């Protein structure tokens, strides 16, 4: 697994359930093992009641990140896009600008911050529907220009959505550090094998890692050992 440069990294995906939390955990575990001590941030968690462990808790568990270096800014009960879930719950969520201010404050104290988005790149985080593209711009305005890691599925159709996602990031002034396949099966089919070979070209960025399926069920020790080989 690649060791990221210091700064803010936003982990996004080509859609929901592509493995963003596992990839965030893998990046964090690699950084932690290198003595870099990253901070994990989930701006908006949906689909969970108060008190239930969320994505940032799972990533921290797998990577061995202590509680003082994990942050969840808002939680919404229904498993919907944050903008929609907040409206249905009658909640005014933090604005993207407020998220950026909080993340920038963390980045002033910690050299490496990993931010896991919700769903895909253009999913809304606040009442205005602004999302990760706007968050990246707001962070840049605060002196913390982030890079993106894009998490993708391996199966048929992934080349198209990877290219669309990476093009959208760059069209809005962002930087793509690379792509990670979030869950690679034990027996990939022909399309998956071909996609693995062609993802970097579609993304215009390196294929950083290919993570095996089933990592979420690992103990922390097993997770670290398997990630080190990815």
Enter the tokens of residue 203: 């993304």
Please, are residues 149 and 31 in contact by the beta-carbon 8 Å criterion?
no
98 CB burial (10 A radius; 0-12, 13-18, 19+): middle
The answer as to whether 86 is a domain residue is: yes
Contacts of 225 (CB under 8 A, 6+ apart): none
Number of domains comprising the chain: 1
In the predicted model, what is the mean pLDDT of residues 88-104? 97
pLDDT tier at 218 (50, 70, 90 boundaries)? confident
Q: Which residue range forms the structural domain that includes residue 45?
A: 7-227
Residue 179 lies in a domain: yes
* Number of Cβ within a 10 Å radius of residue 138: 21
In a domain, 131, yes or no: yes
Q: State the CATH number of the domain containing residue 172.
A: 3.40.50.300
Is residue 104 domain-resident?
yes
The predicted-structure confidence for 73-88, as pLDDT tens digits, reads as follows 999 999 999 999 999 9
Residue 222 inside a domain? The answer is yes
Q: Which of 20, 42, 57, 144 is catalytic?
A: 42
Q: Is 42 a catalytic residue?
A: yes
Residue 2 included in any domain:
no
Indicate whether 1 belongs to any domain: no
In a domain, 46, yes or no: yes
Q: Indicate the pTM of the whole model.
A: 0.95
Distances (CA, A) of 166 to 161, 186, 200, 212, 213: 8, 27, 11, 23, 24
CA distance 4 to 10: 11
């Amino acid at each position: 697994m690649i060791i990221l440069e210091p700064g803010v990294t936003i982990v996004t995906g080509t859609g929901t359930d592509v493995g963003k939390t596992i990839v965030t955990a893998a990046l964090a575990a690699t950084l932690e093992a290198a003595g870099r001590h990253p901070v994990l941030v989930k701006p908006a968690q949906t689909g969970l009641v108060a008190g239930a462990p969320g994505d940032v808790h799972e990533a921290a568990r797998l990577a061995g990140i202590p509680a003082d270096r994990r942050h969840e800014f808002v939680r919404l009960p229904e498993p919907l896009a944050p903008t929609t879930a907040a409206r249905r719950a009658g909640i005014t969520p933090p604005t993207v600008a407020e998220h950026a201010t909080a993340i920038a404050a963390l980045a002033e104290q910690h050299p490496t911050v990993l931010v896991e988005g919700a769903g895909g790149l253009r999913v809304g985080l606040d009442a205005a529907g602004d999302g990760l593209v706007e968050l990246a711009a707001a962070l840049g305005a605060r002196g913390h220009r982030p890079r993106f890691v894009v998490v993708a599925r391996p199966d048929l159709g992934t080349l198209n959505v990877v290219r669309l996602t990476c093009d959208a990031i760059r069209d809005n002034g962002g930087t793509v550090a690379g792509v990670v396949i979030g869950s690679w099966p034990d027996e990939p089919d022909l399309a998956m094998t071909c996609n693995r070979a062609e993802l970097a070209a579609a993304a215009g960025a390196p294929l950083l890692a290919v993570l095996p399926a089933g990592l979420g069920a690992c103990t922390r020790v097993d997770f670290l050992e398997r990630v080190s080989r990815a």
